[in-house]
Amino acid sequence: MSVNFSSQAKDYIKNNHIKYLLLEVDTIEEGCTAIYNPNLKILSKNMNSENVIENIETEDIQLFISKDFTSIFGTQNQFDLDLVGFFEKVLTITNIEAKTKNICKV
């Protein structure tokens, strides 16, 4: 597995002294639809948790991948990180799209 950083993401990580990131899933439920978004969370320390299934180490950071992420999006060969936002900067995964699912029983 590889992690690719845009130049803006590299600068943001370096300037903010970020060492640990957690890749997890944000779930939004509206009516009969569930929307699953990949979400990067900045951690202040190393994470040893039951919820983490995988750990990818690069020169600069450690990326922890949650069990929920793997169960919804499957295993990935590559993660592309970029910095988005104008006023509020946010690190995001650009190569994985949100998934929707019908959660109503028919």
What is the per-residue pLDDT for 95?
Answer: 94
Helix locations, the chain, DSSP H:
7-15, 67-73
What is the per-residue pLDDT for 106?
Answer: 63
64 DSSP β-pair partners: 22, 55
Q: What average pLDDT does the chain have?
A: 89
How far apart (Å, rounded) are the C-alpha atoms in residues 40 and 60? Answer: 16
CATH assignment, 2-102: 2.60.300.12
Question: Which is higher by pLDDT, 58 or 37?
Answer: 37
What is the per-residue pLDDT for 59?
Answer: 80
pTM: 0.84
The Cα angle at residue 69 between residues 63 and 71, in degrees rounded to 5: 135
How far apart (Å, rounded) are the C-alpha atoms in residues 99 and 35? Answer: 6
Half-sphere exposure of 6 (CA within 13 A, CB side): 14
What's the rounded mean pLDDT across residues 19-28? Answer: 93
What pLDDT band is residue 47 in, cutting at 50, 70 and 90? low
Domain limits, the chain: 2-102
Question: Which is higher by pLDDT, 101 or 44?
Answer: 101
Assess contact for 101 and 27: CB atoms under 8 A.
no
Percent share of the chain, pLDDT over 90: 62
